[in-house]
Amino acid sequence: MKLSLLPLSVASLLTLASCATEKQTPTLKDHFADDFLIGAAINMNHVKGLDPGSDSIVRRHFNSIVAENCMKCEEIHPAEGTYFWDDADAFVDYGVRNNMAIIGHTLIWHSQLAPWFPVDSTGAYVSADVLKERMRDHITTVMTRYKGKIKGWDVVNEAIEGDGSYRKSPFYEILGEEFIPLAFQYAHEADPDAELYINDYGMNMPAKREAYVRLVNDMKSKGLRVDAIGMQSHMGMDYPDFKEFEESIEAFASTGCNVMITEWDMSALPTISRSANVSDSVVYNTLFNPYPDGLPADIADRWNSRMDSVTDIFLRHKDVITRVTAWGTHDGMSWKNDFPMKGRVEYPLLFDRDCNLKPFMQNRLDNASDRQI
Ligand code: XIL
C-alpha cells in the first residue's frame, strides 16, 4: 500500500518510526556546552509519544525545550476564567523529567490570542482597566503554576513592525505603548526568579532593531527587568542580511541584555514572504513547492553553507548569546511545511525527515577534536 493511502496517523507513525534509527554521534548539547544552551520547540505529538523520532533527537541532543503551541493564550486560556492545563502540564513534566531548561512561550501576543481576551460580550474592545486586569490575571496564573520549573518566559512577542512602529494589536489599540512595560511588571511580580524575554522576528531590520533598543533601554531606566532580547531567526535562502543580523546582536547586547536565538529555522524553498506573522498565509501554488520529492544537491549545499555561516555568527557572539533554539526537531514536523503556504515540503531544520543531522552540523561535530564530546 502506498504511504499516501494510509490513514494520516498511521502514515506519520511509519515516517516517524524511521527516525528511531539515528546513529550514535557526538551530541549538539555537548558540542555547544561551553557556548550556549541548545534548544528545540516541541509539540503535543512529541509530548504524547506520537513522534518517537523527535523524542530521541531531543533527549539526545538538546538541553532546552520551548512549547510550540500549548502555552499560547488560545490554548491555555480559551475562555474567561477557564484555563486548560493538561497539555502545558504534560509539556513541563516532560522537560522536568528530562532535566531541560524549559522556556515558556508566550504570555502577551496578538496571534493565537484567545478571541475573548480583548473584547466584551458585544465584541467591542474592553476598557484599559479591564484589559490590564485580564493581562495581570493571565500572566500571574500561568507563571505561578509553573514557578520553579520554567527558566524564562517570552513575556511579549512580536510587538513592533519592520519600520519600527508599534504593531496595531488589540493590546496597543487599548493600552498604547504602556502594555509592554505593564506585561513585564506583572511578570516580574508573578515570578521574580523567572527570566523575562522580549521576542520578535525580523530583528535584523535596522528600524526594528533601533525601536527594540530604545524600548528595552527605556524599560530598564524605569527599573523594569528584561533579561534577554529574543531574535526568532526564521530565515530563508535570501534573508536575513547577515551583516544586519550581526549588527542587531551587537546592538541588543549594548542594552546589557542577553541575546537569545529563539526560533531558528531556514527555509530552503523560494521565498514567498520574509515575515513570520502567522496570519500572512497565501493560497497553494506548485511554483512555490518545487522539491516535493527531496532537495536537489546544489540547493542542499547552499542551505548547508548558509546555516554554517549563521552558526559562525552565533559562536562569534557566544559571550552574549545564552541560548540557541531551533523551531522544531526534524523537517517532517516543521511549521514551515504549512507556512506561509499550506502543503509545501520544506527542509528548514537541523535534522532531516529520517532524523539525521544535516551535513553542516554533522561536520562540525565530527571535526571538533578540541571540544568535549
Ligand atoms: C507557530 C507554530 O509553529 C505553528 O504550529 C502554529 O500553527 C503557528 O505558530 N513566531 C512565533 C511562534 O512566535 O509561536 C510561531 O509558531 C511561529 C512564528
pLDDT tens for 257-285 read 999 999 999 999 999 988 888 888 888 88
| Distance in Å, CA 156 to ligand 1 centroid | 14
- What's 256's domain CATH number? 3.20.20.80
Pocket flag, ligand 1, residue 204 (CB < 6 Å): no
Q: Quick check: is 237 in a domain?
A: yes
Residue 369: pLDDT band with limits 50, 70, 90: low
User: Locate cell 480583548: which residue?
Assistant: 118
| Range in 3-7, 52-56, 180-184, 263-267 with the lowest mean pLDDT | 3-7
Taking CA atoms only, the protein residue closest to ligand 1 atom 13 is: 157
Q: Quick check: is 120 in a domain?
A: yes
Pocket flag, ligand 1, residue 346 (CB < 6 Å): no
Taking CA atoms only, the protein residue closest to ligand 1 atom 8 is: 278
Pocket flag, ligand 1, residue 315 (CB < 6 Å): no
| Range in 45-54, 68-77, 141-150, 277-286 with the lowest mean pLDDT | 277-286
Q: Quick check: is 274 in a domain?
A: no
The residues annotated as belonging to the active site are 158, 263
Total count of domains within the chain: 1
Q: From CA 58, how far away is CA 65, in angstroms rounded?
A: 8
Q: Quick check: is 67 in a domain?
A: yes
Pocket flag, ligand 1, residue 232 (CB < 6 Å): yes
Q: Quick check: is 14 in a domain?
A: no
In 3D, which of 123, 132, 42, 128 has the Cα closest to residue 87?
42
Indicate the SS3 state at residue 42: strand
Q: Quick check: is 54 in a domain?
A: yes
Q: From CA 234, how far away is CA 229, in angstroms rounded?
A: 15
Neighbours of 170 (CB within 10 A): 16
pLDDT, the chain, mean: 93
Q: What confidence tens digit (pLDDT) does each residue in 289-337 have?
A: 999 999 999 999 999 999 999 999 999 999 999 999 999 999 999 999 9
Q: From CA 54, how far away is CA 45, in angstroms rounded?
A: 9
| Distance in Å, CA 373 to ligand 1 centroid | 32
**Which residue segment(s) compose the domain that 191 sits in?**
29-269+280-372
What's this model's pTM, rounded to 2 decimal places? Answer: 0.94
Q: With contact defined as beta carbons under 8 Å apart, do 324 and 314 qualify?
A: yes
| Distance in Å, CA 279 to ligand 1 centroid | 10
Pocket flag, ligand 1, residue 337 (CB < 6 Å): no
Q: Which atom of ligand 1 is nearest to the CA of 72?
A: 14
In 3D, which of 40, 48, 111, 33 has the Cα closest to residue 276?
111
Taking CA atoms only, the protein residue closest to ligand 1 atom 15 is: 278
pLDDT at 89 over 80: yes
Q: Quick check: is 263 in a domain?
A: yes
Residues 179-187: what's their mean pLDDT? 98
C-alpha cell at 226: 528584561
Q: Quick check: is 70 in a domain?
A: yes
Residue 2: pLDDT band with limits 50, 70, 90: very low
